[in-house]
Amino acid sequence: MRLKSDTILITGGSSGIGLEMAKQLIALGNTVIVTGRDMTKLETTKRELPKIHVYQSDVSDSRAIKDLYSRVTSDFPKLNILINNAGIMRAVDFNDTEYEMICNEIDIDLSGPIRMVQQFLPHLKKQPDAAIINVTSGLAFISFDKAPVYSAAKSGLHSYTKTLRLQLKSTKVKVFELAPPKTSAPLFARSNQGVAKKGRLPTMDVPKVVSIAISSIQKDKLEILPGLSKLLKFAGRIQL
């Protein structure tokens, strides 16, 4: 994909990898739309990037997704790329965690991207050149007991992305997976600092992760494993 003059929707685009993707994609001449649950953060993002378009939404809410679809496709009928980036990570001890908290993490990290794809796919299939980019994680390939729900949800999203790619191979919609390693993004601080304290892997700068991702997408590389993610995938095979 050229990633120039495209119209791109990024969920969870007010911080971390989503925000950096917005910055770099705007610099390439694309129209970029971001969503988030916190309107204050979205307004800050808009001030930082005046060319960006912001919509408040929540990927864990199917009604919010339907409303987002109506507004975005009406305002941007040429929308042709969906980046499912929104996610949370929590340190979870199954001996002492409420059921609702576990369900909420699954709703955001796994069910949310699936809802977004199902809602936007008919529109994307009408475009001459389209793509879906699911942001998983290097932790999708291993069992990470400090954030087990996150690891399981990202593993599920990895599997879903592979089957989605197979089912859409005869269409004009390309399906990419970006599985970042541990990064300098505020994912840990935003969700639960316990994970960050217990994690031992080195971090990779977000701008570098995004730069690798964009370059790989431009080359139509469907599975993108920056940094240690390649090692984690290999380690996961041994672990099995």
Q: Which of 55, 69, 150, 160 is catalytic?
A: 150
Clarify whether 55 is annotated catalytic.
no
- C-alpha–C-alpha distance, residues 183 and 62, integer Å: 29
Q: Which string of DSSP letters, residue by residue, matches 148-217?
A: HHHHHHHHHHHHHHHHHHHHTTTSSEEEEEE---SBSSTHHHHH-HHHHHH--SPPB-HHHHHHHHHHHH
- C-alpha–C-alpha distance, residues 203 and 90, integer Å: 18
Return the structure tokens found at 108. 């955001």
CA distance readout (Å), 40 to 44, 72, 108, 185: 6, 20, 20, 19
**Residue 109 β-bridge partners:** none
Report which of 104, 10, 102, 4 is spatially closest to residue 57, judged by C-alpha positions.
Answer: 10
Which ranges of the chain does DSSP label H, i.e. alpha helix?
16-27, 39-48, 62-75, 99-106, 112-124, 148-167, 187-191, 193-198, 206-218, 229-239
77: helix, strand or coil: coil
Query: Which residues are annotated as catalytic?
Result: 150
